[in-house]
């Protein structure tokens, strides 16, 4: 995996800040790699893996999550107890 240091330097200060972060870019530009790097950073900070919900929508595993309602139901099912999820 390519380490995207410049992107991470810009993103890391905003982890755990109370607003939505949006990562955009053209297809095959490395957005998923950046998300995996953020996941690694969260794990390094001590966030338990079960507190991180990660879905790769290019995988057929998630082909049925085409609508917001289905995605919401899935995430609610994964976030079992109170507390912060990523």
3-state SS, one letter per residue, for 48-82: CHHHCCCCCCCCHHHCCCCCHHHHHHHHHHHCCCC
- Residue 86 belongs to some domain of the structure: no
Number of structural domains found in the chain: 1
- Residue 21 belongs to some domain of the structure: yes
Q: Which domain range does residue 68 map to?
A: 5-78
- Residue 55 belongs to some domain of the structure: yes
16-69 residue pLDDT tens: 998 888 999 999 888 889 999 999 999 999 999 999 999 988 889 999 898 999
- pTM of the prediction? 0.80
């Amino acid at each position: 995996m390519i380490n995207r240091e410049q992107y991470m330097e810009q993103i890391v200060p905003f982890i755990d800040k109370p607003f939505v972060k949006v990562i955009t870019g053209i297809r095959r530009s490395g957005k998923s790699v950046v998300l995996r790097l953020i996941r690694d950073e969260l794990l390094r900070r001590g966030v338990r893996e079960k507190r991180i919900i990660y879905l790769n929508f290019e995988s057929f595993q998630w082909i049925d999550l085409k609508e917001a309602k289905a995605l919401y139901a899935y995430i609610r099912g994964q976030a079992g107890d109170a507390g912060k999820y990523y």
